[in-house]
Structure formats: structure tokens, C-alpha cells
Structure 1
Amino acid sequence: MVVSRSAPSGRAIVVVLASCGLVASFMQTLVVPLIPVFPRLLHASAADASWVVTVTLLAASVITPVSGRLGDLYGKRRMILVSLALLIAGSVVSATTSALAFQILGRGLQGCAMGVIPLGISIMRDELPPERVGGAISLMSATLGVGGAIGLPVAAVVAENADWHVLFWTAAGLGLACALLILTVVPESPLRTPAPFDYFGALGLAAGLLCLLLPVVKGGTWGWTSVPTLGLAAVAVVALLGWGAYQLRRRDPLVDLRVSARRPVLFTNLASIMVGFALYAMALSFPQLLQAPASTGYGLGQTMVESGLTLAPNGLVMMLLSPVSARLIARFGPRPTLMSGALVIAAGYAFAIVLMDNAFELIMASVIIGAGVGIAYAAMPALIMGSVPVTETASANGLNSLMRSVGTAISSAVMAAMLAQLTITVGGLPVPSLFGFRATFAVAALAALTGVLLAALVPKTRTAPELVAA
């Protein structure tokens, strides 16, 4: 059932939910400017301090499918408020301490905010008139990239000009403002799934994902053939296979694997991994190229703030393209739109391989990649929601968000390993080489082209998806 609302009310719902999405995605890059100085600030080794970043990714990966299912069962608005409450709590914890353990706890709680985005997409489907759903979903999907792109220079400016704890107080204030707006503007969706929550399934999925993602993210530090890396990978395979068998036997599973195995859902999720991989490759490689010493002959010697500002336009392009993405989906269907977006991403990396001599050329490359990401991210939830029952939209979108997170985690490991291996020495320190940067761009382009091929395997549809009856 779709509840029609007046245009102003509908616009308010979209603006509030998109704002919450921006704040949630901002948490992913909140501490990036502090990474080089975290060992000193937290009185810890570089390896231990890196957990402040890693734990946010892990928490976001686990929470998205779980919060989506809880939203289907107990209310999507309610779960958004819970997610924002965890963000606020985590921000306050991190703002009031410099102890490593509490920083890790706080950042883990902040990562739980990522459940806001799939929940918000599902509320839009439930609450908005059909003619407004496409544009709203495109805007909400764009926040996944926009928040991080805009947040990076903002966080860098704050980190350079104020006490670093101010970043967390700012995050707490933004979370509180979002929660108040949700309470004031966004109604609770009337659509619920009358079923018990699968607690054992949630624990099994969390354990399997942690064992899978930990060696991916930390393998470069631990060693790819080390006992912890190989041991956790083996445990992940066993745990996820056992979890899958358990889910197939349950009447009300956490994730309906039969629905997830439908061709549109399966190949959309696989394509999402590739697009997530390509997106994070830019976030990791472009700043290093911009900040590489000018003496290398290819680095631009920018500061963290300058490089963040250089890359900020790609996030703005994602936002500005959201209405264009909606029209493409309505005109050609979500499948061709997803293929087009992934193809544009590949073109952006090809541009960067050839033209990377100055800041303007890198801005153009990042804008092209950002445009492709914005188009592709808008098409993914449209494909998912056209293939699942209306009572499972939040959990299905949560699973799709998880696939993007898996892509970014794999990209983090692959890109970091490549840039660490392909180096030159400048001033006695290793710096990624020109060939190393071009190699990472080529791998990212290949991932995007793989996304095109996977999207081509999704069954054809020419129209925007209609609501699917349960």
C-alpha cells in the first residue's frame, strides 16, 4: 500500500531522510584526516590505531542487513531512530576520551548509522506517491557517496584548526538534529512483516561477516598467508555455509535466500560489489596521488585539506545527477541505467590513466567517476525493489548495501596492497609509483566493466519497477 501525501510533506520527508543519509555516510570518512597522527593521539601503534577506521566498516557491514530486517518487522522509522541513537552515543563516547579501546567502541557505534540509508529508501517506497519514488530513491542512494566526498575536506579543516574531539561533538550534534527531524517530519510506515526476528540468524550472519571481512581488511598487516588471515577465512566459509543452510530451513529467515537468489536480485548484488570496489578505489588512490611529493614528477604535493577540496566536486555531481538518474530509470529501465553508470565509471578511470598531470585533470576524472557512481547507485535499489515483496524492501535494501560494503572492503585491501608494493623512494620514504597509480586505476576500471557484464545478466525491463505484492 502506498500512502499519498501532499507535495510539501513529500518533499520534507525526502529532504529529512536524505540529510540523515548524508550524516550516516559522513561517519565513514570522519577520521580519515587523523589517520597519520592517530598513533600519537591515542598512544598506540599504527596497527592498533587502524582499528578506529576498520571497526566502522565492520559495524556498517553487519548492521545494514540486520537493521533492514528489524525495520520490516518492527517499523522502519523506529529503526532509523535506533541507528541515530547509536550514532549519538558513539560520538559522545569518542568525544570524551583519548583511550584507544573507547575510541574503537565509539567508532563501532557510529558505523551502525549506515542502516539509515536502506531504511530511508524503504520508507520512501512506502510513503511517497509512485511518481516521486524514483527521484527520491536516486537522491537517497547518492548520499552513500556524497557524504563521504563532502565530509573529507570538512573533517580535514576541523582537524587542522581545532581539537580533534570537536569532530565527534559535531557528529553527535548532527545525529541529534537528524533524530529530531525524523520524529517531527517522517511518519512510521504502516507496512510490517508479521514474523518473529531471527536472533540466531543475526548472530550467525554477524559472525560470518566479521570472519570474512577481518582478513580482507587486515590481511595486508597480518600477512596474506598468516595463520590469523587463513584461519578466519576458513571459519568464515564454514560459518556462512552453515548460516545459509539454517536460513533455508527457517520459515521466517533473517534473509530470504530464495528471494536473494532470484536472477535480478543476485546479479544486482554482484554488480553492487563491483561498483563499491570502483568507488573506494578512487577514495583511496586519488588523495595519495594529489598528496604525493611534487619532486616525483607526477605528484601534486597537496595538503589533506587541498586534496579533499579537489575531490569534493565528485560528491556534488552525484547529488546533482540524482534527478537525471531517476529520469533515466523511468525512460530506459533500471538495468540499462546500472550498466550505463558502471560504464561511465570505467571511462573515468580510463581518463585518469591517460590524463593525470594536474589537479584539473584529476578533478575531471573524479567527476566522471562520481557521475557513474551516482547513476549506478540510483539504479540498484530500483532493481531490488522491483524483485522483492513489498514487506521485505528494507531487508533486501540492507543486503544490497552490505554487498556495496563488501566491495569497498575488498577494494581497500587490494588497492592498499598494490600501492604499497609498487613504490619508489623519495627522501628515504616509499611513495606509490606512477605505474602503481595507473595499475590501480586499471584494476578499478576492470571492476566497473565487470559490473557492466553482471548487470547485463539481470532480466530486461524498460520501465521503472512497480511495487511487488507480497
Structure 2
Amino acid sequence: MEDSTARGRSGGIVGVLAVAGIVASLMQTLVVPLIGELPRLLGTSASNAAWVVTATLLASAVAMPVTGKLGDLYGKRRMLLILMIPLIAGSVVCAVSGSVVPMIVGRGLQGVGMGMIPLGISALRDLLPPERLGSAIALMSSSMGIGGAFGLPLSAAVIENTSWRALFWGSAALSLLVAVTIWFLVPDVPARGGGRIDLVGAVGLGAGLVCFLLGVSKGGDWGWASGTTVGLLAAAAVLFALWGAWELRTREPLVDLRVTARRPVLLTNLASIMIGFAMYAQALIGPQLLQIPEAAGYGLGQSMLAAGLWMAPAGLMMMLISPLGARLSAARGPKVTLCTGALIIAAGYGGSVAMMGSPWGVVAFTCIISIGVGFAYGAMPALIMGAVPHSETASANSFNTLMRSIGTSVAAAVVGVVLAEMTVTLGGHALPSENGFRAGLLIGCGAALVAALVALTIPGRPAPGGAGERAAGGAVPAGTGPASKS
């Protein structure tokens, strides 16, 4: 009876934290179906309306490392509840917005909530028995992609059948419900970190990320050779160099660069950038390919809602595959799972060129890619937690999640440029060409192959009972593992 009660309690914790991660990641794609209508709805230009999407990206990138460190210092459950406040407030602000400025503010607040995913992963390490940890981490890690995949059809269905404001009222209500369940079902655990937050490091990293992500995300609009774009990227390089020097000198850094420079952590983070790129490239290409008019000769002529529904199975596959990935990590080590996932992604992209001629073909290759992403996303936290001290799991996972976000940002820029430059004209409108879609898919394949090569260089699975193995299939006690020696 006690065992069944414990399993039920563990299942409730995993369910609540996974739903919290999915709700947070939903915010990334919540407004995608509205992009074309935002200038009219908010009385602004298309370039200003684009900030409604960019603000969420920037806010999540800046907030994740800071919230991860705060979770280590003051407790993960406390920070999970605190993060629900901007998520709810941002949703309400967006719901009542009538102009672009409050909408951007609200979307920025929603982006802060993305910190719940790495915090949830780290909380699982403290709360679950070893035999439940691997599959739970895999599911929680995959929530970043699951929420993004389900966001598009959900948003399209709401917009086509009711007011666009219902999107944000619904997200506010859902976020409030998640906060209540966290309060009642997720127990508190003592904070394992010590010291204080590195404010200089937080500001420096935030400023560098803002400059970099703005340059990458808006370079296509401003021109890659424009003074603004070049200036932002140059400023980012300088700020990151100064930030790194500060982090290496301060006694209580926001991100322990000596730990992140260790080979397992560094290589996992590099692979994460490429996997994030590969994951987002198909999420950008699939819906556009589905909605291109059939008159173009290669388009599939689907409505916005239909395109979202055709893409939804990919998110479902990511959810279903995460337990299998956890079992593979427990049997062979998370390095094998990460490499396997990257190769599956590459295979999906490789077959996509032959399958892009029908909606069912798009479903097939996006599902294959999502299966690979599910394997890879589940392996990353296991690799990270097997190589860092217990007191730094939240900040290390937040930094890894940030690396995935950088990958998605770069994918948005690169694929956006490819599709914008390789076009055909139909009815007086420029549309991405068939060759443009093929090029974008092949670039995604290349990113996945690079991720597989990087994964192969990650140090192999430790001897039985080692830190990496325990992270893959169980908790790593504080003070154990290679990172505890520093």
C-alpha cells in the first residue's frame, strides 16, 4: 500500500510539473496564427507587431539562467510558484491590450515563465525515487517541444471560433490552475545552493543575450550588413567576453564557467544548440508548406487550422517517445540516447525531401523528427546532471535550456532568410519556393548530423554507479560525481 501511495504521489508530481512546462512552452507559439492580423488588431505596423513574438523569446532567454540560480539559492518550488505570477499577469495584460506596447509587455512577462522547465527538471531530481527519475526527466525536458507543437492548432482553433482575447484569458486561467496544483501537490525541498545572486553577471548575460538575439532575429528585416545588425552582434561579442571574465573572477558566479567548460557539459550544450536548431526548422517549414496554395504546384493548400492539426501528431510523438528514451539512457547511457536522437532527426530530414508532396508526408517526416527530438531532449538533462554538483542542477539545466533557445533563434533567422530569398511570385505575392523549402530541410539535416558528431565526442558512460548513470536513471546524491571535486 505504501509503495502504491508513493508511486501515486510521484506520478502526481511528474504530471503537475510536466503540465507546467507544457503551459509555459505554449506561450512560444500562442500568437503565431495571429501574426498576420496583429498590425490591424493593435493599430501598428508589421515590424512593430513582430516584437510581440520577439519579446517572449528575449524575456525567456534572459530570465532562464537567473531563475535557475534563484531556484538553487532559495528553493525550486518557491521559484516555480513565483514564475507563475508573471505568466498569469502577462496573460491578463495581453487579454486587455488594445495597442502594441502593452501587448509586448505582456508577452515579455509570459516569456519569463519558460524558466519553469529547467526548474521542474531540477526539482524532479530532489523529489523522485531513482527508479522514476529517468522517464520523468525525459518527459519534462520534452515539454518544451510538446507545448510548442500543440500551441499552433490550439491557437488556430480558438481564433477561428471565438475572440483572439480568449487565447490569453484561457492561458491566464490555465496558468492559475497549474499554480494551485503546484501549491498542493509539489512538496518543498531545502535549497541546496548558498550565497547570493550575481547581479552583475545577470545584467551582463542579459545584455549580451538581448544584443545577440535581437541581431539574429531581426537581421533579416534590418539587413545583415546594416549598422544596427552588425553593431548589435559586435556588442554581444564584447559583452559576452566581459561577462565571461567577470564570471571567472567572482566568487559566486551566476554561471560557473569552470563547470560548464568541462567536456561533458560543454559538448552537451553545443549539441543542444544544434538540436534546438533542427527542432525549430521543421516547425517553421511544415506549417508554411502546408498553407502554400496548390496553384503554386507544390503547395498543399491547407487552412491555418488544418495546418495546425496536421502538425499536432509531432508533439504527441514527442510525448509518447520520452519513456522509451529514458529506458535507452538507463540501459546504454544518455550519450547513446542523444546520438540516437540526432541520427533519427537527420533521417527524418533526409526523407522529408521525398515526402513533402502531401499532408501525410509532412506528418510522417515531422513525426520522425519529433521522435528524434524526444530522445535527444530527454538525454540532455541526464548528461548535465551527471556532471555538475547537486547544488547547481537548476542553474546548469537553465543554461542548457538557454542553449536550446539560442538554437531555435538561429534557426528562425537562417530558415527565414532562406525562405525569404528563394521565392516565387503567385498572384502578385512572393511565396517561398519549393527549392527554398528543400534547402531549409537540408540545412536542418546538416544541423542534426553535426549534433550527432558532437554527441559522439562526449565522454562515454561511467562505470556502474557513476554520476552519469545515476542521473540517467536515478538521483545523484549531493557531493557525488565528478563535479563535486572542484
Answer yes or no: is 1:162 the counterpart of 2:162. yes
Offset from partner CA, 1:248-273 (integer Å, 9 cap, x none): 00111000000000000000000000
Give the percent of matched residue pairs that are identical in Structure 1 and Structure 2: 55
In structure 1, what is the Cα distance between the partners aligned to 2:455 and 2:84?
Answer: 33
TM-score by length of 2: 0.95
For residues 465 and 48 of structure 1, what CA distance do their matches in structure 2 show? 48
1:353-400 Cα shifts (integer Å, max 9, x gaps): 122111111100010001000000000000000000000000000000
Q: Which residue of 1 aligns with 2:205?
A: 205
For 1:183, the equivalent position in structure 2 comes to: 183
Match of 1:419 in 2: 419
Aligned to 1:27: 27
Hey, what's the Cα distance between the residues in 2 that align with 1:91 and 1:355?
A: 38
Q: Which moved more, 1:458-467 or 1:42-51?
A: 458-467
Q: Is 1:443 matched up with 2:443? A: yes
- Partner in structure 1 of residue 456 of structure 2: 456
On the 8 A contact 2:74/2:191 being kept in 1, the answer is: no
Letter in 1 for 2:46: A
Provide the residue aligned with 1:379 in structure 2: 379
Q: Please name the residue that 1:357 is paired with.
A: 357
1:95 corresponding residue in structure 2: 95
1:465 pairs with 2:466 = no
Separation (CA, whole Å) in 1 of partners of 2:135 and 2:214 = 36
- Number of the residue aligned with 1:37: 37
2:277 counterpart letter in structure 1 = F
Q: Is the 8 A contact 1:5 1:127 kept in 2?
A: no
> Does 2:291 correspond to 1:291?
yes
Taking the aligned partners of 1:409 and 1:360, their CA distance within structure 2 comes to 28
Matched with 2:82 is 82
Aligned to 1:392: 392
- Pairing of 1:230-249 with structure 2 (within 5 A): 230-249=230-249
CA-to-aligned-CA distance 1:158-202 (integer Å, 9 cap, x gap): 111111111000110011001000100001122421111111111
Q: Secondary structure at the match of 1:431?
A: strand
Give, in angstroms, the shift of residue 283 of structure 1: 1.0
Find the residue that maps to 2:387 and give its secondary structure. coil
C-alpha RMSD of matched pairs (Å): 1.1
Measured against aligned partners, the alpha-carbon deviations of 1:83-111 in whole angstroms (never above 9, x if no partner) come to 11110000111111121000000000000
Structure 2 SS opposite 1:8: helix
Look up the match of 2:265: 265
SS in 2 for 1:25: helix
Distance 1:433 1:97 in 2: 36
Aligned equivalents of 2:234 and 2:142: distance in 1?
35
Structure 1 residue 40: Cα displacement: 0.6
Q: Secondary structure at the match of 1:143?
A: helix
> Per the alignment, in what secondary structure is the counterpart of residue 424 of structure 1?
strand
In 1: Cα distance, 2:275 partner to 2:193 partner:
30
In structure 2, give the amino acid aligned to 1:261: A
AA in 1 matched with 2:127: E
Q: Which amino acid aligns with 1:293?
A: P
CA distance in 2, matches of 1:395, 1:187: 20
CA distance in 2, matches of 1:5, 1:88: 32
Contact 1:5 1:129 in 2 (8 A): no
Check whether the contact 1:126–1:191 (CA below 8 A) recurs between aligned residues: no
- Indicate the SS of the match to 2:424: strand
Write the distance in 2 (CA, Å) between the matches of 1:65 and 1:197: 11
Equivalent pair of 1:285/1:440 in contact (CA under 8 Å): yes
> How far apart are the structure 1 equivalents of 2:93 and 2:116?
20
Q: Give 3-state SS (helix, strand or coil) of 1:47's partner.
A: helix
User: Following TM superposition, by how much is the alpha carbon of 1:5 offset from its aligned partner in structure 2, in angstroms?
Assistant: 8.2
What SS does the corresponding residue of 2:284 show, helix, strand or coil?
A: helix
Contact preservation (8 Å) 2:71, 2:191:
no
Residues 33-72 of structure 1 aligned to structure 2 (within 5 Å): 33-72=33-72
Quick one: distance in 2 between partners of 1:196 and 1:434?
53
Amino acid at match of 1:366: T
Q: 2:193 is paired with a residue of what secondary structure?
A: coil
* Aligned mates of 2:410, 2:431 — CA distance in 1: 22
2:408 & 2:69 partners in 1: Cα distance? 22
2:140 alignment partner in structure 1: 140
Structure 1 position 206, deviation (Å): 0.4
Q: What is the DSSP-based 3-state SS (H/G/I as helix, E as strand, rest coil) of the residue aligned with 1:352?
A: helix
Distance in structure 1 (CA, Å) of the matches to 2:350 and 2:362: 12
Q: Does the aligned pair in 2 maintain the 1:193–1:392 contact within 8 Å?
A: yes
Residue 397 of structure 1 aligns to which amino acid in structure 2?
Answer: N
Deviation at 1:457, TM superposition (A): 1.2
Aligned to 1:338: 338
Q: Secondary structure at the match of 2:37?
A: helix
Which structure 1 residue ranges, 4+ long, deviate > 6 Å from structure 2? Answer: none
The amino acid of 1:422's aligned partner reads: M
Gaps of 5+ in 2: none
Q: For the residues of structure 2 that align with 1:30 and 1:110, how far apart are their CA atoms?
A: 10
The equivalent of 1:126 in structure 2 is 126
CA–CA separation in structure 2 for the residues paired with 1:434 and 1:262:
43
Task: Tell me, in whole angstroms, the C-alpha distance in 1 between the residues paired with 2:423 and 2:101.
Answer: 33
What residue in structure 2 maps to residue 195 of structure 1? 195
Judge conservation of contact 2:275–2:407 (CA < 8 Å) in 1.
yes
Distance, in Å, in 2 between the alignment partners of 1:236 and 1:5 is 51
- In 1, are the aligned partners of 2:192 and 2:390 still within 8 Å (CA)? no
Q: Deviations over 1:112-148 (max 9, x none)?
A: 1100000000010011001110010011011111111
- One-letter identity of the residue aligned with 1:406: I
Q: Which amino acid aligns with 1:225?
A: A
Deviations 1:36-69 (A, max 9, x none): 1111111111100000000101111111111000
Query: CA contact under 8 A between 1:146 and 1:315: conserved in structure 2?
Result: yes
SS at match of 1:425: strand
Residues in 2 aligned to 1:60 and 1:347: alpha-carbon distance in whole angstroms = 31
Distance 1:25 1:125 in 2: 21
Q: Which one-letter code corresponds to 2:374 in the other structure?
A: G
Secondary structure at 2:470 match in 1: coil
* Cα shift at 1:465: 3.4
CA distance in 2 between counterparts of 1:261 and 1:60 reads: 23
Q: Larger deviation: 102-111 or 152-161?
A: 152-161
Code of the residue aligned with 2:414 in structure 1: it is V
